[in-house]
Amino acid sequence: MVYQTLRSIFQRYESDFSIAEAHGMATAMLCIKSHCDAIKWLNEVFEEDGLIIEDDKMQLLELFEQTRKLLDPDESIFEFDLLLPENGLLPEKTEALIKWCQGFLWGIGYTHSDNDWQGETIGILRDLVEFTKLNADVEDNNDDDENAFIQVHEYLRAAVLIIRDELQTNSNHQH
């Protein structure tokens, strides 16, 4: 129930972002700079992070650090996943996926200022822009919609690694 717990934190502090969107932001920031500061992310997600009680702040920072760990290229197994509702209706999961894509694009733009996109990254970012236009008004018990959701979800999991590898390789060559 990680998603529900974190979603309630976002609702409690009336963040302008959803938890899925904030996770997309964190993922993008970490794809570009694996050493990115979690507090920087928290300050973007919550305008006044000083108002967040310590327990809630710790849960959010733990999410960021767990995402960092799952994106570590030295980890032998690929367990990274988008933070979406574990269960629930397809429209809710689709809406969260759309928000995750919006957050990822925001995080890319926030962290990576130049437009020197290379390799597959350009195509993937274009796909993400298209995914933000998906219609969340899907039928819950429609196998075609469910299969399409699963395919997009799996594509995004793999796309994150491609972007991470390309952007971190490029930034290593620039230093």
What would the mean pLDDT of 84-88 be, rounded to a whole number? 87
Total count of domains within the chain? 1
Among 94-98, 130-134, 141-145, the least confident range:
141-145
Q: What is the pLDDT of residue 147?
A: 92
Q: Model pTM?
A: 0.90
- pLDDT value, residue 50: 63
Tell the burial category of 103 from Cβ atoms under 10 Å away from its Cβ (0-12, 13-18, 19+): buried
Looking at per-residue pLDDT, the higher value among 90 and 76 belongs to 90
Residue with more model confidence, 7 or 87:
7
Q: Specify burial of residue 21 (Cβ count, 10 A radius: 0-12, 13-18, 19+).
A: buried
Average pLDDT, the chain: 87
* Domain span holding position 158: 2-174
CATH number at residue 159: 1.20.120.740
Position 175 scores a pLDDT of 41
Given this model, what pLDDT does residue 56 score?
93
